[in-house]
Amino acid sequence: MATAHQTLVEDFRVLIDSLTPQWKMLSRLGESTSKTIFILDLQNQSLELRRPLGISIEQTETGWYAFSYDLDELVVGADENEILSEMRLAIADVYYLLKAEAEHLGHIQKQHWDFLQSVVSEAP
């Protein structure tokens, strides 16, 4: 049986492995125009945002990027509308995935789930 320390170390390794491609991509952005925007809804009939959710977006020579620091989610697209649409879909996907696995989440995933529960509600 894994100790709490071993579980935490494994969660950290999973997080580092998942972020490595994103950080490599971000490090190649070079000159960019970035801003933070707040999405007000997920454009999903089943899910509602309780409060605006901050998303960092950047336009570079190679395309558009959106990143949620709260969820460690990165999406790439051809334009601002595409990345916002993709980010909304990614947030909904992460919500349903973490909800389905709520009893088996590691430390980092549990933090993401707790955050999502604080900002997302299921529509009546």
What are 69-83's pLDDT values in tens digits?
A: 999 999 999 999 999
Tokens representing 4? 């709490």
Supply the pTM of this predicted model.
0.72
Q: Please say if the pLDDT value at position 90 is more than 70.
A: yes
Q: How high is the pLDDT of residue 38?
A: 94
Structural domain including 109 reads 34-122
Is residue 92 domain-resident?
Answer: yes
Could you tell me if residue 90 is inside a domain? yes
For residue 76, what are the β-bridge partners? 65
Number of domains the chain is built from: 1
- Say if 65 falls within a structural domain: yes
Per-residue pLDDT, averaged over 28-39, amounts to 74
Token duo for residue 53? 């959710």
Radius of gyration over alpha carbons of the chain, in Å? 16
Determine, yes or no, domain membership for 99: yes
CB 64 within 8 A of CB 53: no
26, part of any domain: no
Please indicate, yes or no, if residue 1 is contained in any of the structural domains: no
Domain for residue 85, yes or no? yes
Residue 73 lies in a domain: yes
